[in-house]
């Protein structure tokens, strides 16, 4: 691989993103929704602290709490994360092809794989920049509102959450880039990735519920074993969706009281003392989810890479 060619294309794509109106529109939407949720949660937390109701893990509750009128910050990121990846990648390849610049780019003395690698790395960099800047800004606003600085454990959890969010958004970037290679029209690739997003986020859960209730019907005569099989089937099949993996991971990370993501029997609860888990223990619980998000990123990008390398590009 020509590293100089990759670096040149990476800088070009990075500059194109940073100077595009699309980037500022996406950043504006994310920032407005994020700050709105943090401000609403911060008001409720300040009132709770004033009444001496709770003062534990205040900084984490900025990201997970909601006043009822506005969803929490993690809910916004779970919903808007795919939108960011879609906006950055749905026309990355077919847009160049339709403008006639892809063939001219291929005529330059650079390796073909530098094009796909440079575009993906530039998109991931933009996502990382957006996520970390927003995370720092929201953290600063939280400290100003509550007057409570984060502990070391909370800092580790928030940093891990931001890294996880980058992988989550990068998956949708890789998926939208794949559709940009598969379809010649930008509108078609955008509609395709939106359809996949809606299916995984909404309709997959509905289909799984119907399937589980059909195989293990619940009624007044159902046994405990049938009820457990029904619930386990819904839980495991829902984890096919990256949104479910992301939601379960963020809840475990930002809520130290979560001790398990599976089913816990009554016998396992005997003798258990309700307490917050240390950061490393929470990380062990979510590690399979974390690895799964990284794996689907790699799989999706690998498919894009192979298909792009075999694709015929004409002037």
Under a CB-based contact definition with an 8 Å cutoff, are residues 252 and 258 in contact?
A: yes
- Which of the 8 DSSP states describes residue 69? S
Under a CB-based contact definition with an 8 Å cutoff, are residues 59 and 154 in contact?
A: yes
Q: What is the pTM of this model?
A: 0.89
Residue stretches of the chain with pLDDT short of 50: 52, 267-269
What three-state secondary structure class fits 61?
helix
Give the angle 249-164-81 at the CA atoms, nearest 5°. 95
- From residue 203, how far is each of 5, 207, 208, 241 by CA, in Å? 42, 6, 9, 11
- Which of the 8 DSSP states describes residue 202? I
The two three-digit tokens of residue 282, written as one number = 């929470």
What is the C-alpha separation between 308 and 315, in angstroms, rounded?
16
What is the length of the chain? 315
What is the C-alpha separation between 42 and 233, in angstroms, rounded?
37
Residue 88: enclosing H or E segment and its boundaries? Answer: helix 73-89
What is the C-alpha separation between 275 and 285, in angstroms, rounded?
15
- Which residue has 């519920």 as its token pair? 209
What pLDDT was estimated at residue 292? Answer: 93
The two three-digit tokens of residue 162, written as one number = 């931001």
- DSSP letters of 103-169? HHHHTSSS-THHHHHHHHHHHHHHHHHHHHHHHHHHHHHHHHHH--PPPHHHHHHHHHHHHHHHHHH
CA 46 from centre of chain: 29
Three-class SS of 241-306? CHHHHHHHHHHHHHCCCCCCCCCCCHHHHCCCCCCCCCHHHHHHHHHHHHHHHHHHHHHHHHHHHH
What pLDDT was estimated at residue 269? Answer: 47
- From residue 205, how far is each of 24, 85, 109 by CA, in Å? 33, 22, 48
What pLDDT was estimated at residue 246? Answer: 93
What pLDDT was estimated at residue 274? Answer: 61
- From residue 48, how far is each of 58, 67, 73, 87 by CA, in Å? 10, 12, 19, 39
What three-state secondary structure class fits 63?
helix
What three-state secondary structure class fits 82?
helix
The two three-digit tokens of residue 69, written as one number = 């009128």
What pLDDT was estimated at residue 156? Answer: 92
């Amino acid at each position: 691989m020509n590293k100089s060619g990759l670096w040149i294309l990476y800088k070009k794509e990075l500059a194109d993103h940073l100077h595009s109106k699309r980037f500022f529109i996406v950043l504006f939407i994310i920032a407005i929704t994020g700050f709105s949720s943090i401000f609403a949660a911060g008001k409720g937390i300040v009132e709770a602290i004033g009444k001496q109701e709770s003062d534990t893990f205040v900084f984490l509750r900025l990201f997970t709490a909601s006043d009822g009128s506005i969803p929490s910050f993690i809910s916004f990121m779970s919903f808007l994360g795919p939108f960011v990846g879609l906006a950055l990648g749905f026309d990355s390849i077919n847009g160049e092809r339709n403008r006639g610049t892809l063939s001219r780019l291929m005529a330059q003395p650079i390796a073909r794989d530098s094009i796909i690698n440079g575009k993906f790395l530039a998109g991931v960099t933009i996502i990382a920049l957006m996520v970390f800047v927003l995370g720092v800004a929201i953290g600063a606003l939280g400290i100003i509102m509550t007057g409570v600085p984060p502990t070391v454990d909370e800092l580790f959890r928030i940093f891990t959450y931001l890294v996880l969010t980058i992988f989550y958004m990068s998956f949708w970037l890789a998926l939208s880039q794949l559709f940009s290679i598969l379809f010649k029209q930008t509108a078609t690739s955008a509609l395709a990735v939106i359809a996949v997003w809606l299916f995984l986020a909404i309709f997959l859960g509905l289909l799984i519920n119907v399937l589980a209730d059909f195989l293990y019907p619940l009624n007044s005569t159902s046994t405990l074993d049938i009820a457990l099989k029904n619930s386990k089937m819904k839980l495991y099949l829902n984890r096919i969706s990256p949104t479910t993996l992301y939601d379960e991971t963020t809840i475990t990370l930002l809520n130290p009281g979560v001790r398990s993501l599976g089913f816990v029997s009554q016998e396992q609860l005997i003798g258990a003392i309700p307490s917050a888990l240390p950061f490393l223990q929470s990380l062990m619980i979510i590690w399979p989810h974390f690895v799964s998000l990284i794996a689907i990123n790699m799989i999706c990008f690998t498919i894009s890479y192979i298909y792009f390398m075999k694709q015929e590009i004409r002037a």
